[in-house]
Amino acid sequence: MGSDYAIEADDLRRTYRARTGWLRPKRTEVEAVRGVTFTVGRGELFGLLGPNGAGKTTTIKMLNTLLIPTSGTARVCGHDVVEQTKEVRRRIGYVFGGDRGLYDRLSALDNLRYFAELYGVAPREQKRRIAELLELVGLAGRERERVEGYSRGMRQRLHIARGLLHSPDVLFLDEPSIGVDPVAARELRRTVGDLAATGTTVLLTTHYMAEADELCDRIAVIADGEIQALGTPAELRRRADGLRVVEVEAYGVPETAVDALRGLPGVRETAVEVKGALQLLTVHSDAHVDVQGDVLRELAGIRLGRVNSREPTLEDAYVAIVSTA
Amino acid sequence: MRTLRLLTVGTLLHAKQISRSPFEVAIALVVPVVQATLAVYLFRSGGEQHRLLEAAVGAGVMGVWSSVLFGSGGAIQNQRWQGTLEMIMLAPRRPALVILPITIATGVTGTYALLATLVWGRVLYGIRLDFAHPVAFVVAAVVCVIGLGMFGLLLASTFVLMRNANALANTLEYPVWLISGMLVPITVLPAWTTPIAAILPTTWGARALREATSGGPVWPSILLCLGISLVCLVIGALTLTHVERRARAAATLALA
Ligand SMILES: Nc1ncnc2c1ncn2[C@@H]1O[C@H](COP(=O)(O)OP(=O)(O)OP(=O)(O)O)[C@@H](O)[C@H]1O
Ligand SMILES: [Mg+2]
């Protein structure tokens, strides 16, 4: 086919207009995506990372024809997503995270049968294909139960089977691992990796950095509707070069102490994560300044657990990129 | 062939999904008994067996109509609430082909009301089920259900364009019962209702069933019902294509 790229997005923008209020309607506008440009090669596994509300889902929905861009153009397998929707839809699969979007009072088998019919899977192939996918997502043997009795992870897996029914060339996965247990998540990663290895193009969004690091050939970090960084996981990690990370486990750190840490010379970023009674302080600093001593001095008198100084990971790079956005 | 398969499988599965709703089950248990009773007490004074059966059939058709009106009118909104609207609209199919099985399914589940009304009429009140043209009755019933499903597509596509579709659905239930002559013969209605009745597929569907029950030409009515329904289908399909594109521009396919 004509195009070398599976996905081409050129200066995509999307503004949501909403009317709120009933008696005195007020018009509000949200610029969800503001000029996103990227390409994904055939067979590539491309990750889209970014904080909540960054515009990841909006970008995906413009690419999979569910939303018409406010401006800009996009092509999937060489077909325009606004003008040639049927051509695009034939070639794509879409899986989103969460437990909605299935017919609850039908069995998994009926759900898959229905969508196989909708997506034009040839009748004689349906049975084999459905059995194969049930096996793949680990629902074989429970396919006759109604979906309303399924756990969240089972529904998620059914979603994935549904998205693969017509063996799409391009697969959009919007947070597919939400609510999936660790073992199943690992299997899911292997499935996605296998698909990409056999030529399927995958566009994936996730909030799990390890997942992105392990799977993606390239990653775009998006925040405030714009791409902030784009490259291979290794390239992104290099963004955090010259960075050193100090992690401190502590109990009952007052807000003032955290502020004091932020003011230390050489410190770039300080984050607090609460884990039960424990607080995990993560301090990013310039690599050539050893801030560990200063940090511990500021926290004097507070009960501390493990203290650890380490090289930055992809997650640290991500935090650095997003926080400067 | 593919299209027919999609319509059949889609209709059956949607009928399954609809008929398993607790709300639907409750209605399905109560309404036919009420309707059979209504039919009997309204017409017992006449004392004529055939009038009784005719009334029971009429009451049954009212059930089909209610099911289509509320089911189809809310079809798109329902899919939106379930989160399935995006998934089905994403299929490489015409929007009408995706929605039509849902609206026909509302007709199919409504047929249960028709059958149940007849059965209760038989069991509780001993109405004899002797139809003048049994075969034609079955054909008429099938055409009536499919026709109402097509009419339902028109309702589905126009109702999503309206803000107060629910209120409209409520106001349409009884007038259509009356005007299409499901309960009383059209001849006793004021003259101005005649042209409205003539363009409603429900009128011809109900008439075909009545003729098959108590004698009459049947087939012309069946054809007219089918013809008008096809026109509804075409208009509904065009509207739906427009609605789909608009929804993609306005981001209303998902539950925002
Ligand atoms: N239908 C809608 N109407 C109005 N605003 C919307 C709509 N959908 C999304 N938005 C807004 O657009 C912005 C981007 O949302 P989007 O869902 O694309 O983010 P996201 O990156 O997918 O976030 P998350 O990680 O939480 O899934 C947000 O500010 C959101 O509130
Ligand atoms: Mg999202």
Task: Look at residue A111 in the predicted model and tell me its pLDDT.
Answer: 96
Domain boundary among A206, A231, A256: A231
Give me the percent of chain B exceeding a pLDDT of 70: 96
Task: State pLDDT tens for residues A186-195.
Answer: 888 998 999 9
Q: Is the per-residue pLDDT at B256 higher than 50?
A: no
Q: Name residues contacting ligand 1 (CB within 6 A).
A: A 16, 18, 30, 32, 50, 52-58; B 251, 256
Mean pLDDT of A246-251: 89
Tell me how far apart the alpha carbons of residues B121 and B60 are, in angstroms, rounded to a whole number. 11
Give me the percent of chain A exceeding a pLDDT of 90: 52
Specify the higher pLDDT residue, B180 or B96.
B96
Mean pLDDT of A87-97: 93
Residue A174 shares a structural domain with residue A26? yes
Domain boundary among A171, A202, A231: A231
Dump strand ranges (E) for A160-242: 170-174, 201-205, 218-223, 226-231
Q: Is the per-residue pLDDT at A2 higher than 60?
A: no
Residue A99 shares a structural domain with residue A222? yes
Residue A245 shares a structural domain with residue A182? no
**CATH number of the domain where residue A56 is located:** 3.40.50.300
**Which atom belonging to ligand 1 lies closest to the Cα atom of A207?**
25
Task: State pLDDT tens for residues A9-55.
Answer: 999 999 998 777 677 777 888 999 999 999 999 999 999 999 999 99
- In chain A, what residues touch B17 (CB-CB under 8 Å)? 103, 105-106
Name which of A32, A65, A158 is nearest A106 in CA terms: A158
Nearest CB neighbour to B10, from listed A61, A89, A117: A117
State pTM to two decimals: 0.87
Specify the higher pLDDT residue, A239 or A142.
A142
Task: Look at residue B247 in the predicted model and tell me its pLDDT.
Answer: 87
Residue A179 shares a structural domain with residue A304? no
Mean pLDDT of B167-177: 82
Tell me how far apart the alpha carbons of residues A61 and A174 are, in angstroms, rounded to a whole number. 10
Q: What SS3 class is residue B15?
A: helix
Residue A128 shares a structural domain with residue A211? yes
Distance A168 CA to ligand 2 centre (A): 21
**Mean pLDDT of all residues in chain B?**
86
Name which of B217, B237, B212, B230 is nearest B54 in CA terms: B212
Residue A314 shares a structural domain with residue A214? no
Closest residue on chain B to A110 (Cα): B13
Residue A102 shares a structural domain with residue A250? no
Task: Look at residue B48 in the predicted model and tell me its pLDDT.
Answer: 65
- In chain A, what residues touch B80 (CB-CB under 8 Å)? none
Domain that holds residue A74: 5-231
Mean pLDDT of A159-177: 93
Please count the other Cβ atoms lying within 10 Å of the Cβ belonging to residue A36: 26
Q: If pLDDT is split at 50, 70 and 90, which confidence band does A277 have?
A: confident
Determine whether B121 is exposed, middle or buried from the number of CB atoms within 10 Å of its CB (0-12, 13-18, 19+).
buried
Q: If pLDDT is split at 50, 70 and 90, which confidence band does A226 have?
A: very high
User: A82, A43 in Cβ contact below 8 A?
Assistant: no
**CATH number of the domain where residue A301 is located:** 3.30.70.260
Task: Look at residue A3 in the predicted model and tell me its pLDDT.
Answer: 67
Mean pLDDT of A112-138: 93
Residue A148 shares a structural domain with residue A284? no
Out of A130-139, A250-259, B94-103, which region has the weakest mean confidence (pLDDT)? A250-259
Give me the percent of chain B exceeding a pLDDT of 90: 35
Interface contact A120-B92, CB threshold 8 A: yes
Residue A179 shares a structural domain with residue A106? yes
User: What is the residue whose two structure tokens read 């089918």?
Assistant: B226
Residue A11 shares a structural domain with residue A117? yes
Q: Domain total for chain A?
A: 2
Mean pLDDT of B190-196: 85
User: A9, A74 in Cβ contact below 8 A?
Assistant: yes
User: A6, A31 in Cβ contact below 8 A?
Assistant: no
Distance A41 CA to ligand 2 centre (A): 23
Tell me how far apart the alpha carbons of residues B168 and B162 are, in angstroms, rounded to a whole number. 9
Task: Look at residue A264 in the predicted model and tell me its pLDDT.
Answer: 86
DSSP-assigned states of every residue in B146-212: HHHHHHHHHHHHHHTT-TTHHHHHHHHHHHHHHHTTSSS-GGGS-TTHHHHHHH-HHHHHHHHHHHH
Closest residue on chain B to A71 (Cα): B249
Global ipTM: 0.88
From B245's Cα to the closest Cα of chain A, the distance in A is 8
Take atom 31 of ligand 1 and give the residue whose Cα is closest.
A53
Tell me how far apart the alpha carbons of residues A34 and A60 are, in angstroms, rounded to a whole number. 14
Instruction: Say whether residue B188 is in contact with chain A using an 8 A CB cutoff.
Output: no
Residue A23 shares a structural domain with residue A129? yes
User: A147, A111 in Cβ contact below 8 A?
Assistant: yes
Task: Look at residue B163 in the predicted model and tell me its pLDDT.
Answer: 66
Q: Is the per-residue pLDDT at B46 higher than 80?
A: no
Nearest CB neighbour to B9, from listed A61, A102, A113: A113
DSSP label of B125:
H
User: What is the residue whose two structure tokens read 């009755």?
Assistant: B137
User: A29, A15 in Cβ contact below 8 A?
Assistant: yes
Task: Look at residue B165 in the predicted model and tell me its pLDDT.
Answer: 72
Q: If pLDDT is split at 50, 70 and 90, which confidence band does B78 have?
A: confident
Domain boundary among A173, A204, A231: A231
Name which of B69, B15, B23, B14 is nearest B182 in CA terms: B69
Tell me how far apart the alpha carbons of residues B180 and B202 are, in angstroms, rounded to a whole number. 6
Mean pLDDT of B231-253: 89
Out of A218-222, A303-307, B38-42, which region has the weakest mean confidence (pLDDT)? B38-42
Task: Look at residue A147 in the predicted model and tell me its pLDDT.
Answer: 94
Give me the percent of chain A exceeding a pLDDT of 70: 98
User: A5-20 and A71-76: which strand pairing?
Assistant: antiparallel
**Which atom belonging to ligand 1 lies closest to the Cα atom of A59?**
18
Instruction: Say whether residue A64 is in contact with chain B using an 8 A CB cutoff.
Output: yes
- In chain A, what residues touch B102 (CB-CB under 8 Å)? none
> How far, CA to CA in Å, does B2 sit from each of A117, A123, B10?
8, 9, 12
Interface contact B84-A114, CB threshold 8 A: no
CB interface of B with A, residues 149-168, below 8 Å: none
Out of A1-15, A86-100, A292-306, B30-44, which region has the weakest mean confidence (pLDDT)? B30-44
Residue A139 shares a structural domain with residue A181? yes
As a three-state string, the secondary structure of B214-253 is HCCCCHHHHHHHHHHHHHHHHHHHHHHHHHHHHHHHHCCC
Q: Is the per-residue pLDDT at B31 higher than 70?
A: yes
Q: Is the per-residue pLDDT at A1 higher than 60?
A: no
Compute the count of residue pairs across chains A and B with CB atoms less than 8 Å apart.
77
Is the torsion defined by CA of B111, B117, B122, B124 positive or negative? Answer: positive
Interface contact B6-A118, CB threshold 8 A: yes
